[in-house]
Structure 1
């Protein structure tokens, strides 16, 4: 019969060569077997460890990643390993050529174990939550500000010079020269007895005449002034908020947990 042909181990026919084959064709069979072995195991370029037994090799089948297994993967979408697909809700061809598989969309989601409360592939949860407090009756709030240490407040009053009209009611003493005796009287007036070169020589007369010269005691300087603000010691302030009618409060809380973004990939 004609010489058997094969490229890989699974193509070899254990019934060949038949007993009717001629002996001279044996060398052709041997060369074919060598070619099949090298084509089937091209990566074996040295001796295998003695621990690589048929039992070990058979056990590897149970260690292979099954179709549908999902793992986290760090890398660009274009670099996803062969036989794997990103979990983005798209369909992917199965590696064994038996059809396609629809990947679960795990983008922006965290997987949890399926249960009676959450069936397989069901989605739930949200990144934020809004809460409304129960209605509280009419009430007030009291409080005390935290104690502050001794401190001061800056600031000042505006400067102002008094005018004559703004000065309070007051009197001035008129005295005779050389004495401190007050001569304020309706019957005592000053005469025009001022001597040249002097501002203190005055004489009194008993006549009710208007004085053309006179000297009174000094009063005020007409200068501007201000009022300082002094520092206060450590103290607190008590406060009471005005009473309000019954009401509730609504708040929105960010419920996103601290996260890092990676790709979920599935074995196809």
Structure 2
């Protein structure tokens, strides 16, 4: 039987050489084996250490592994970029309720360190003007106002009390005369007028005061609504 021919391992026939082949052709068969192995594995210049199980992990791969890894990495980068834009861009600030030691490496608590604003004990006051970013104002305290009322209340009520009474009187000879109210005769004619001074006034003391509870109330921290404390963290990279 003639010698095998082939270029790669898949060309070899495991049934060759047959029992009838001359022993003198044995060296030719060995040369074909070495040739097909070298052609099949041309770039091996050292030991191949992966096991058959490890090599089988690449079963079904139809293109260069690095090419496929690059394609996967491109997808990952694209998804991360989309997530960054859609969830929180660099410079974005969110509220955080967790262990400070667990804050991601590209985030930082907003305590004034680095590029972060110091939001400790601060509320956020929105703006649509870029030039107003990081402006601050307001106060957590309120001013306590004190005042007094004077209690001097003395006063008087005055009235003019002078007045007179006119009565018809008649004398025996028909003449008229004026008489004081205490000296009017019993036998007179005509119209007479009595006269008496009655101006007077009533005096009363009206000093008084108004009392109101005036406990010592501090305005410190009294200008804020009920609250729950959370941390603010900012994405820095």
Same fold (TM over 0.5): no
Taking structure 1 as the reference length, what is the TM-score of the superposition? 0.34
Taking structure 2 as the reference length, what is the TM-score of the superposition? 0.38
Larger RCO (alpha carbons 8 Å, 6+ apart): 1
Decide which structure has greater helix share: 2
